[in-house]
Chain A
Amino acid sequence: MDLWQLLLTLAVAGSGSAFSGSEDSSEKPKFTKCRSPELETFSCHWTDGVRHGLKNAGSVQLFYIRRSTQEWTQEWKECPDYVSAGENSCYFNSSYTSIWIPYCIKLTSNGGTVDQKCFSVEEIVQPDPPIGLNWTLLNISLTGIHADIQVRWEPPPNADVQKGWIVLKYELQYKEVNESQWKMMDPVLSTSVPVYSLRLDKEYEVRVRSRQRNSEKYGEFSEVLYVTLPQMSPFACEEDFQFPWFLIIIFGIFGLTMILFLFIFSKQQRIKMLILPPVPVPKIKGIDPDLLKEGKLEEVNTILAIHDNYKPEFYNDDSWVEFIELDIDDLDEKTEGSDTDRLLSNDHEKSLNILGAKDDDSGRTSCYEPDILETDFNASDVCDGTSEVAQPQRLKGEVDLLCLDQKNQNNSPSTDTTPTTQQPSIILAKENKPRPLLISGTESTQQAAHTQLSNPSSLANIDFYAQVSDITPAGSVVLSPGQKNKAGISPCDMPPEVASLCQANFIMDNAYFCEADAKKCITVAPHVEAESRVEPSFNQEDIYITTESLTTTAGQSGTTERAVSSEMPVPDYTSIHIIQSPRGLVLNATALPLPDKEFLSSCGYVSTDQLNKIMP
């Protein structure tokens, strides 16, 4: 027994390596494989080590033995079926097959054991290929390119899978028709399996093989199944899914444009300001355009008045008008002390008052409102005497009266639309005779008040407007027409001068002091004293009127010189008055050839008639 076991062991050991599957190139026949397809039968195959032309003498025989119940009592039995399994094979049917029992077979040739192997039947199971392969279409993808199929088959018919005697696992392989490499799927226990993602335009081959579940040996492949999928629909999309860049770009641009338009045309100012900032508008500094819009001209004017260049026109007009009116008034007051005397007096208060009074007087027609003038003047004394003060007032009053009378008289003759301010002058110019009367009247008044006249009073007989050229240290004002100090000049003290001045030189008169000249001339002739009184007044007039006259008067002792002097003091002030209808020019008397005394006596105001006379 032990020896037998040893022999058997050696035989098995010897055949082990041979049975492992290595291919030997030996001449002896040997087992190729033994397999059981269904765990019920098995068969063994061997190679017939055939030499060329040489065949073994003895036939090959197979003997087998199987151990049962731990006993090696059986003898080697010969193969029961050499035919069923083909040539060089031995087929063991189910009666000869015992599962879970070790078998040993040997191959003999000519009595000699050539090969031997031992195995158990459950270890050599290699099922037959499945049968009945078929496929069904599961679905087609939306793109119409791919499809899924379900492949079904039947287990090998000899395998009793139904009762569960044998459990099989299947492996499916598929490939495209023109491919060489098979794609393998995982083994499954079921007899159907889905195949996904097959292209519709390709043909596929499918095959299945099976194996016992715990074995590693696969059976033969089944027959190839050809899968021909239905053709693609003509409206199939392109092969590959391309990212719709085009659509995305279009929609993106559209969306952005919509947002942009929304912002631009939005009413919201904030967003609009962010996107389209407003262009700064140039602004004029200092002026709020809203003022102009609202029409507040006063405010605009106030703003603009800051700048020196801007002067409203009305202001100019009024000043000229004022000047004109003042000239008339001053002419009347020349003889009896004008504001200048008062200005030069130490009595500042009075001067102020006078000025105040005079202010009231100025700007107004001298013919009007005589009461106020008289009262004012009476209130203020320039030269220690109210008479002097009153004198010019009286003079003025007389003048005014005269003006009034003359006015009444001259209303008809001077139908020109001359302003009333001119009437007195005109009247005076035209009617010289009343002048002497006037002057005489003034003289009388002046004589009466001569003693009372003080220097400043005589000095006061100056026009209302006098250009101030300088201010003396003493505090007195030096008026432009005269370079000499007014303070020092006392018309009362200068009778001869006055007399000299009193030459009836109408030419000398200022443009707007025709009355003074007339007074001068008249007073000089009859009375020296009067002249003296008057002269200074006249002198004064001349003094503050023109510097030249002052100088001339100072130097002149006689009136003749005065009269002779052709120099005609050019008044600093030349008034130009524009007459409404035909424009009349107030000309300087000196500049014009004055054929008529009448004309010379003009105060500088030239009426149209006079103008016509002058000019051909």
Chain B
Amino acid sequence: SDNTAGSLLLLLLLVSDLLLCQSVASLPICPSGAVNCQVSLRDLFDRAVILSHYIHNLSSEMFNEFDKRYAQGRGFITKAINSCHTSSLSTPEDKEQAQQIHHEDLLNLILRVLRSWNDPLYHLVTEVRGMQEAPDAILSRAIEIEEQNRRLLEGMEKIVGQVHPGIRENEVYSVWSGLPSLQMADEDTRLFAFYNLLHCLRRDSHKIDNYLKLLKCRIVYDSNC
């Protein structure tokens, strides 16, 4: 009957909403193709913060999982030395710097970092799948991170479009060249490449999360969080 169908649909919607909430599902901001769709900045930032928070959690978990599984006893202590491909991006290094930088620049930086990670994330998923006894924990998180990163990028672009519209900078991002390392035949080298990549991912997701939260407090709440 109609009633049962309606209730079932509602139930399905609720379940899906719950799942999406947990997976930092974004509410449909604007239907595709809508030009004059205006979502409040607050909502945009709220969603962005949720996504960045979620991505950082996934990255941390993935790194911990990898570290526990592959990096034990291998002495991957060179983490301090190796740098990430996004290090060239002059991002603020502490809170004061983040607070002092102009929010537009900061937004751009965020966008750059996010863009820089599109390619590595894509390859990360591919390479983790190809790994021997690919751990599902790492693979699933990698897949999730890649997707959420894309969403965050879209959201950030919307925010930028709202904060200072009209200015569209060139898409600057850091190029990642670590793919050959991921495909090295030597297991140690390869694993270290993974380890390093995951470590960098965790750090950059943390950066983005902190930056967005500062921006949110500063832009949305006018520093009165």
**A residues engaging B (CB < 8 A)?**
5, 8-9, 12-13, 16, 39-40, 67-70, 94, 97-104, 118-120, 122, 160, 162-165, 167, 213-214
B56 surroundings in chain A (CB, below 8 A): 214
Contact across chains for B213 and A100 when beta carbons are under 8 A apart: no
Q: Which of B75-83, B100-108, B129-137, B146-154 lies at the interface?
A: B75-83
Known: A13-B75, A97-B94, A163-B217. A102 touches B210 (CB 8 A): no
A16 touches B75 (CB 8 A): yes
The closest CB in chain B to the CB of A101 belongs to B93
The 0/1 profile, CB within 8 Å of A marked 1, for residues 203-216 of chain B is: 10011001001101
Checking B57, B60, B77, B93 against A100 with a beta-carbon cut-off of 8 angstroms, the contacting residue is: B93
Query: Which residues from A are CB-within-8-Å of B213?
Result: 163-165
Within the complex, the shortest CB–CB distance from A102 to chain B, in Å, comes to 4
Q: Does B171 contact A (CB under 8 A)?
A: no
The 8 closest A-B pairs by CB, nearest first: A164-B213, A118-B80, A214-B60, A102-B80, A98-B93, A163-B217, A16-B77, A70-B83
Collect the chain B residues with CB atoms within 8 Å of residue A67's CB.
80-81, 83
A99-B214 in contact (CB<8A)? no
> CB < 8 Å: which of B80, B87, B95 contacts A104?
B80
A162–B93 alpha-carbon span in the complex (Å): 19
Q: How far is the CB of A69 from chain B (nearest CB, A)?
A: 7
> Which of A101, A104, A164 lies in contact with B225, CB distance below 8 A?
A164
A237 to chain B, nearest CB (A): 40
**Are A100 and B203 CB-contacts (below 8 A) given A69-B87, A164-B210?**
yes
13 CB < 8 A contacts A-B? A12-B78, A40-B94, A40-B95, A67-B81, A70-B87, A94-B95, A98-B94, A120-B80, A122-B206, A162-B225, A163-B214, A164-B213, A214-B206
Interface bits B170-208 vs A (CB < 8 Å: 1, else 0): 000000000000000000000000000000000100110
Within 30-82 of B, Cβ neighbours of A (below 8 Å) are at 49, 53, 56-57, 60, 75, 77-81
Give chain B nearest CB distance to A428 CB in angstroms.
124
- Rounded to whole Å, the gap between the CB of A122 and the closest CB of chain B is 6
Q: Report the nearest B residue to A15, measured CB to CB.
A: B77
Cα of A70 to Cα of B78 in the assembled complex, Å: 13
Does B96 have its Cβ within 8 Å of any Cβ on chain A? Answer: yes
Report the Cα distance A427→B35, complex, angstroms.
162
Alpha-carbon distance A102/B80, docked complex (angstroms): 5
User: Is there an interface contact between A100 and B214, defined as CB atoms closer than 8 Å?
Assistant: no
Chain B residues, Cβ within 8 Å of A94: 94-96
Q: Are B93 and A214 in contact (CB under 8 A)?
A: no
* A69, B88: Cβ atoms closer than 8 Å: yes
Q: Looking at the assembled complex, report how far the CB atom of B10 sits from the nearest CB atom of chain A, in whole angstroms.
A: 29
Known contacts A40-B94, A97-B94, A101-B93: A9-B81 contact under CB 8 Å: yes
Please report the C-alpha to C-alpha distance between residue A100 and residue B202 in the assembled complex, in whole angstroms: 10
Describe B's contact surface by its main secondary structure.
helix
Q: Which residues of chain B are within 8 angstroms of A120 by Cβ–Cβ distance?
A: 80, 203
Smallest distance from the beta carbon of A241 to chain B beta carbons, Å? 36
Interface range on chain B: under 10, 10 to 19, 20 to 34, or 35 or more? 20 to 34
Residue of B nearest to A119 (CB): B80
CA A13 – CA B77 in complex, angstroms?
Answer: 7
Q: What's the nearest-Cβ distance from chain B to residue A28, in Å?
A: 20
Give CA–CA (A119, B199) in the complex, Å: 13
Complex contacts, B206 vs chain A, CB 8 Å? 100, 122, 214
Beyond A99-B94, A99-B210, A100-B91, 18 extra complex contacts between A and B, CB < 8 Å: A40-B94, A67-B80, A68-B93, A70-B87, A98-B93, A98-B94, A101-B93, A118-B80, A120-B203, A122-B206, A162-B217, A162-B225, A163-B214, A164-B213, A164-B216, A164-B225, A165-B214, A167-B53
Q: In the complex the two chains form, what is the Cα distance from A120 to B225 in whole Å?
A: 28
Collect the chain B residues with CB atoms within 8 Å of residue A9's CB: 78, 81
Contact between A164 and B80, CB atoms less than 8 A apart: no
Shortest C-beta distance, B51 to chain A (Å), equals 14
The complex places the Cα of A13 from the Cα of B80 at a distance, in Å, of: 11
Q: Which B residues touch A8, using CB under 8 A? A: 81
CB distance from A67 to the nearest CB of B (A): 8
Shortest CB distance A408–B (Å): 122
Q: B80-130: which have CB < 8 Å to A?
A: 80-81, 83, 87-88, 90-91, 93-96
Q: How far is the CB of A606 from chain B (nearest CB, A)?
A: 119
Residues of B within 8 A of A103 (CB): 80
Look across to chain B and name the residue whose beta carbon is closest to the beta carbon of A121. Answer: B94
- Are A164 and B93 closer than 8 Å at their CB atoms? no
Min CB–CB distance A583 → chain B (angstroms):
111
Residues A70 and B88 in contact, CB atoms below 8 Å apart? yes
Residue on A with the closest CB to B63? A214
A residues near B53, Cβ cutoff 8 Å: 167
Kindly provide the distance from the CB of A104 to the nearest chain B CB, expressed in whole angstroms.
7
Contact partner of B214 among A40, A97, A164, A213, CB < 8 A? A164
Q: Is the CB of B87 within 8 A of A102?
A: no
- Tell me the bound Cα distance from A104 to B214 in angstroms: 28
On chain A, the residues within 8 Å of B91 by CB distance are: 100
Query: Which residues of chain B have C-beta atoms less than 8 A from A119's C-beta?
Result: 80
Q: Which residues of B contact A12 (CB under 8 A)?
A: 77-78, 80-81
Once A9-B78, A102-B80 are accepted as A-B contacts, the answer to whether A160 and B95 lie under 8 Å apart by CB is yes
- Kindly provide the distance from the CB of B95 to the nearest chain A CB, expressed in whole angstroms: 5
List the B side residues contacting A104 at CB < 8 Å.
Answer: 80
**CB–CB A163/B225 < 8 A:** yes
In the bound assembly, the distance between CA atoms of A13 and B61 in angstroms comes to 25
Within the assembled complex, what's the spacing in Å between the Cα atoms of A39 and B98?
A: 13
Q: How far is the CA of A5 from the CA of B78 in the complex (A)?
A: 10
Give chain A residues whose Cβ lies under 8 Å from the Cβ of B83: 67, 70
Which residue of chain B has the shortest Cβ distance to A40 in the bound complex? B95
Contacts of A213 in B (CB 8 A): 57
Q: A163–B212 Cα gap in the complex (Å)?
A: 10
From A8, which residue of chain B is reached at the shortest CB distance?
B81
- Chain B residues within an 8 Å CB radius of A167: 53
Cα of A64 to Cα of B116 in the assembled complex, Å: 31
CA distance A16 to B83 in the complex (A): 19
Contacting pair B60 A164 (CB below 8 A)? no
Contacts of A100 in B (CB 8 A): 91, 93, 203, 206-207
Closest B residue, CB atoms, query A215? B60
| Chain B nearest CB, measured from A478 CB (Å) | 114
Cα A522 to Cα B191 with chains together (Å): 175
B207: chain A residues at CB < 8 Å are 100
Query: Nearest residue in B to A69 (C-beta to C-beta)?
Result: B87
Question: A residues within 8 A CB of B87?
Answer: 69-70
B57, B88, B94, B217: residue with the most chain A Cβ atoms closer than 10 Å: B94
Which chain A residue shows the least CB distance to B93?
A: A98
Q: A347 to B96, alpha carbons, bound, how many Å?
A: 169
